[in-house]
Amino acid sequence: MSTADHSRRSAARLSEDILHSWSGLPDGVSPSPRESNVPSARELEYMRMLKTLLGNVDGMVYRCRDDAHWTMEFVSEGCERVTGYQPRDLMGNGRITYESITHPEDKTWVREAVRSALAARTRFDLEYRILHADGGVRWVWERGTGVLDEHGRVIAIEGLIQDVTARRDAVQALREAERRYRGLFDNAIEGIFRTTPDGHYLDANPALANIYGFSSPQELMDSLRDIGRQLYVDPQRREEFMRIMRARGSVTGFESQVYRKNGDIIWISENARALFDASGTCVGYEGTVEDITERKRYQARIEQQANYDTLTGLANRSLLQDRLEQALLTAATYRTKLAVVFVDLDRFKLINDSLGHHVGDELLKVMAGRLESCVRECDTVARLGGDEFVVLVTGQSAADQVRSVVERMLTVVSQPWVTEHGEFNVSCSIGVALFPNDGTDAQTLLKHADSAMYRAKESGRNNFQFFTRELNTLMTERLELESRLRRALERNQFLLHYQPRVDLTSGRIIGAEALIRWQLPDQGLVAPGRFIPLAEETGLIVPIGKWVLKAACAQNRRWQDEGREPIVVSVNVSARQFRQDNLVRTVAEVLQETGLEPRYLELELTESMVMHDPAQLVAMLGELKRLGVHIAVDDFGTGYSSLSYLKRFPVDRLKVDRSFVEHLATDADDASIVRAIITLGHNLGLKVVAEGVEMPQQVSFLQTHHCDEAQGFLFGRPVGADALAQLLGRRIAPGVEA
């Protein structure tokens, strides 16, 4: 029995005792023959005791006539605590009647309930609302009964009324807490369970049922009656689980193989703890389950295939490095030539994206076989990743011999590839670096072969290029660009453009992404694609990133000082910046220096960056959030995020990568991915932003699936600060209802 119920029943018993004593004096006390005059001392003592007792009752004791208005004959001192009125206000229905302060919505049914109980000669027990003297609404509980005369007729009503508002509020709060808990429980991504000590499920959430292949938690609980024998592939794992639990009271990261409903075997990781009653006896276990099958498969592939590419069977980067080092030693000893050939398939991404990754994988396997057919067994064909291959051609004495091998590669690769989806002509671009002419170590040769390959692509694809003096010239130009980039800050050559971000409900600008531009006096604007990678590689991105942060915050504050509608400005943070220990301090100093409130700054991190060193990341993000700035994950969906980490990050927004948004109207896979990201974001309590929106059809799709925000050329290209200022406060999103 709950505390509230116990209190209520105790009060009911007390009221029954009072009502029982109402009709007269206690046994052994007879009315005094002077009853019309002064009461006896014993009668006075009894009356004093009764008054004290009634005054101490937590509620209002009353007696009223059984007439049309239930005229009050007696009201205890508790009246004021319950109603706010004095007992004299209700006595004889003088100043006010009790029925008049009964809540209008409850008045009719309360009267009917009381009348029904009186007619049936039973007690009534009601909860309803009254209008308190202070104007507020109170919940009361009333317990009463009819008073009968010697003929069995109801002549009065006696009862007890208590204020139960606090209890009602507590019950409502408890129900709300239970509802929220159930929502978290049911919608959690990880499986959650409670079991008895002997292995019977007491509770399970939908995620756990899904992991084990059941259609519902109830089916899981009905089917799995013996966890040790029915679930675990190796029953001894259950015994080990129990041994650890008995020794420590909890288990963490306990990995096992288990059966799904259909007989499939998967890997799971469990975290659990024992539950104890007041006497210290274990009454069950509760915990979480994560499906780690893919992770285990990945670990197995890493362990079993440390030297070979799992898709094509070719040598991987590690084995390539080892063989190249050995080949260099041999070539140096015997004064022979060695060619490093870098091969990249042309327009592979187009096929991969349009026909699907499974078709792209088949293409890679076919091309791997074709490349192997062009070389000898003593040569090596390796896959670096994606559609990039490296071929080591050893023992050749002249460049012409290498040329014939490369030409054969071009011919064989470009032969038609016939699949169920049609016939395709795939070409490749090839770059060649020779030992010792173009380098004497592995790193230099690979770098020069890669540079030559990119020159082949720039020359129209489906051709090959040897590393030449011209490429050396290009590398020199790159060094010059790097030198000018180092002086760009002190020469004030950077400027910011801003691309608006709009709310898909109102169509108004609510934010803008700050994008850096480099203005060279003799070249005009340098494309970000030319200098950003260079800045990343050289470490210049750190001071440049600090400049962007400060300039964006200062501009945002200027807009506000001009009376513009406040917006959030987003600033991209590079991996190098984020790894700097002073990033949090830098952000805090910039905010203080510019006077911008933290809530108007958002830092954007790429998804791949989010997964770098998650423990350190969580700590740093926590510090940034305590400053009050927003955090967004950019290019979401293109990396390899672990949702178990993502849910721990204090992130505010997920930005859907433009590659998924681009084909929303025509690609069912992209549409499904975007829907899934929106749902995931909302389940994690995050705002979702779609990037690269260029067509009204994309807006319609995003609105239908409740995407929160969007940015792209449809709403505006990146523009200068003055141009964006003219747009602030306006509705600019086509197809959005204001």
| In 437-540, alpha helices (H) | 442-458, 469-488, 528-538
Kindly report the CATH number assigned to the domain that includes residue 425: 3.30.70.270
> For residue 252, what are the domain limits?
188-296
501 shares its domain with 642: yes
Tell me the per-residue pLDDT of 199-232, one tens digit each, with 9 for 90 and over. 888 888 888 999 999 999 899 989 888 888 889 9
| Mean pLDDT, residues 515-522 taken together | 89
- Would residue 121 count as lying in a domain? yes
What rounded mean pLDDT belongs to the chain?
Answer: 85
- Would residue 183 count as lying in a domain? no
500 shares its domain with 649: yes
In this structure, what are the phi and psi dihedrals at residue 118, rounded to the nearest 5 degrees? -65, -40
382 shares its domain with 429: yes
Question: What is the pLDDT confidence band of residue 24, given thresholds at 50, 70 and 90?
Answer: very low
484 shares its domain with 622: yes
**Residue 99: DSSP 8-state:** G
Q: State how far the Cα of 142 lies from the Cα of 160, in Å rounded to an integer.
A: 6
Half-sphere exposure at residue 472, Cβ-oriented, CA atoms within 13 angstroms: 8
Q: Is residue 266 within a helix (H) or strand (E), and if so which, with residue range?
A: strand 265-276
**Which of 413, 437, 467 represents a domain boundary (last residue)?**
467
Q: Give me the pLDDT at residue 19, please.
A: 43
Q: Which residues contact 609 (CB under 8 A, 6 or more apart)?
A: 573, 574, 575, 578
Kindly report the CATH number assigned to the domain that includes residue 25: 3.30.450.20
Give the type of residue at 581. D
487 shares its domain with 443: no
Q: Give me the pLDDT at residue 497, please.
A: 95
**Which of 467, 494, 526 represents a domain boundary (last residue)?**
467
- Would residue 566 count as lying in a domain? yes
Tell me the per-residue pLDDT of 362-382, one tens digit each, with 9 for 90 and over. 999 999 999 999 999 889 999
Task: Return left, alpha or beta for 401; rule: phi > 0 is left, psi -120 to 50 is alpha, else beta.
Answer: alpha
210 shares its domain with 357: no
316 shares its domain with 448: yes
- Would residue 689 count as lying in a domain? yes
pLDDT surpassing 60 at residue 737: no
Question: What is the pLDDT confidence band of residue 10, given thresholds at 50, 70 and 90?
Answer: very low
Q: Give me the pLDDT at residue 496, please.
A: 94
552 shares its domain with 668: yes
Q: Give me the pLDDT at residue 526, please.
A: 85
506 shares its domain with 423: no
**Which of 135, 169, 203 represents a domain boundary (last residue)?**
169
pLDDT surpassing 50 at residue 1: no
Q: Which residue did the predictor score with more confidence, 187 or 622?
A: 622
707 shares its domain with 652: yes
Question: What is the pLDDT confidence band of residue 534, given thresholds at 50, 70 and 90?
Answer: confident
Tell me the per-residue pLDDT of 267-291, one tens digit each, with 9 for 90 and over. 999 999 999 988 888 998 999 999 9
645 shares its domain with 558: yes
Tell me the per-residue pLDDT of 411-440, one tens digit each, with 9 for 90 and over. 999 999 888 877 888 899 999 999 988 889
- Would residue 179 count as lying in a domain? no
Whole-structure pTM value: 0.43
Question: What is the pLDDT confidence band of residue 187, given thresholds at 50, 70 and 90?
Answer: confident
Helical axes 3-21 vs 41-56, angle rounded to 10° = 160
- Would residue 30 count as lying in a domain? yes
Tell me the per-residue pLDDT of 283-340, one tens digit each, with 9 for 90 and over. 989 999 999 999 888 887 776 668 888 899 899 998 999 999 999 998 888 888 899 9
- Would residue 36 count as lying in a domain? yes
- Would residue 412 count as lying in a domain? yes
Domains held by the chain: number:
4
Kindly report the CATH number assigned to the domain that includes residue 586: 3.20.20.450
pLDDT surpassing 50 at residue 64: yes
Tell me the per-residue pLDDT of 540-562, one tens digit each, with 9 for 90 and over. 888 999 999 999 999 999 999 99
349 shares its domain with 323: yes
